[in-house]
């Protein structure tokens, strides 16, 4: 144990925090994990934008840069962003974490992520590993939001959480005992592909019919078409009433299949008027076949960083070794 602690102190991961009280004899030294000592590069794709940042294990952001990836060569943008970030960073990162809206296979290949310009089966992990020389973790953005909200947000200390994301797109995730349930093909939670109103996804669709019709962006377009906005409507307004039925349906499917203790709604839906959110809560809790709590995410995009911290913390082998000496971006 002494040798292990000495190694962790040498790596800068553990520090002396003082002395324990004693009733006699030499007081024991108190040690603590220095969460600011482990830095990670976080690449987050949202709405055709890439945000590259460096965070520590407290989720504190040290450096951030933003790039537009619409209609551009995504691997090239990634490489440039990583070079720029490394030049701005005062200390090296120990791993790279990627958050994106898409299905990520265990080997790092990506599918169903047209919103960020990633081609199907692009081996993102290999590309980033070659560029940085660092270990790489890639995860679906909604999965990370669910991890973050379960660990530090609206569902803190809940063992079983189902998250329904409603924003520019629609997605879902289930967290059990602090871990994501990925499914056999890591496609669990793709509720945007649910059939609804007699409409089914067609083979090869990269966007599901439920997402296409009931994302917040689609509902907003209907409101604008009718000359309405969220300040002028109530839960009884036909467009809003239909949207609440659709969104509660997504939550109820999650309840029936995964039986979570808590449903967390995340995304821009959380910014809607309180009366609308209250009615959404009522429809879920009153129609669920078993008791379920409903909460609304409050970490925002910070939920992704919190999720990354949880993911990396459960993969300690990524940051315990010293960074690769051959790494040309983070020497």
The sign of the torsion formed by the CA atoms of 208, 213, 216, 220 equals: positive
Report the pLDDT value the prediction gives residue 325, as an integer from 0 to 100. 38
Question: Closest Cα partner for 245 from 280, 292, 278, 205?
Answer: 280
Confidence of residue 296 (pLDDT cuts 50, 70, 90): very high
Q: What is the mean pLDDT of residues 47-58?
A: 88
Confidence of residue 284 (pLDDT cuts 50, 70, 90): very high
pLDDT, one tens digit per residue, over 101-140 is: 877 777 666 766 655 555 555 577 888 888 899 988 889 9
| Beta strands 39-46 and 136-140, pairing class | unpaired
Report the pLDDT value the prediction gives residue 159, as an integer from 0 to 100. 81
| Beta strands 39-46 and 95-100, pairing class | parallel
Q: What is the mean pLDDT of residues 79-98?
A: 91
The pair of three-digit structure tokens given for residue 318, joined into one six-digit string: 């990524």
Q: 111's torsion region: left (phi>0), alpha (psi -120 to 50) or beta?
A: beta
DSSP symbols for 302-322: HHHHHHHHHHHHT-GGGTSSP
Confidence of residue 173 (pLDDT cuts 50, 70, 90): very high
Cα 252 from Cα 79, distance rounded (Å): 42
Say whether pLDDT at 55 is over 80. yes
pTM metric for this prediction: 0.85
Q: Higher confidence at residue 161 or residue 34?
A: 161
- How many residues in total does the chain contain? 331
């Amino acid at each position: 144990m002494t040798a292990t602690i000495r190694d962790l102190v040498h790596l800068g991961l553990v520090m002396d925090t003082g002395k324990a009280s004693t009733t006699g004899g030499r007081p024991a030294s108190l040690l603590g994990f220095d969460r600011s000592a482990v830095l990670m590069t976080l690449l987050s794709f949202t709405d055709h934008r890439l945000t590259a940042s460096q965070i520590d294990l407290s989720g504190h952001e040290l450096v951030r840069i933003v790039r537009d990836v619409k209609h551009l060569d995504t691997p090239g943008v990634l490489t440039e962003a990583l070079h720029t970030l490394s030049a701005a960073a005062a200390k090296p990162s120990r791993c790279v974490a990627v958050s994106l809206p898409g299905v990520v296979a265990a080997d790092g290949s990506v599918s169903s992520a047209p919103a960020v310009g990633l081609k199907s089966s692009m081996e993102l992990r290999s590309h980033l590993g070659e560029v940085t020389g660092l270990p790489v973790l890639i995860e679906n953005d909604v999965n990370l939001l669910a991890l973050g909200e379960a660990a530090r947000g609206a569902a803190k200390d809940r063992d079983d959480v189902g998250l329904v994301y409603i924003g520019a797109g629609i997605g879902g995730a289930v967290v059990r005992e602090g871990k994501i349930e990925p499914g056999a093909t890591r496609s669990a939670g793709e509720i945007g592909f649910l059939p609804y109103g007699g409409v089914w996804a067609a083979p090869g669709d990269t966007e599901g019919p439920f997402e296409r019709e009931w994302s917040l962006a689609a509902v907003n377009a209907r409101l604008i078409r009718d000359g309405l906005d969220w300040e002028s409507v109530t839960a009884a307004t036909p467009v809003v009433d239909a949207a609440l039925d659709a969104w509660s349906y997504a939550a109820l499917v999650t309840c029936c299949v995964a039986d979570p203790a808590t449903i967390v709604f995340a995304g821009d839906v959380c910014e809607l008027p309180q009366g609308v959110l209250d009615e959404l809560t009522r429809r879920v809790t009153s129609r669920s076949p078993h008791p379920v709590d409903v909460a609304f995410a409050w970490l925002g995009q910070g939920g992704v960083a919190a999720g990354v911290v949880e993911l990396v913390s459960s993969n300690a082998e990524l940051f315990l070794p010293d960074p690769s000496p051959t790494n040309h971006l983070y020497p």
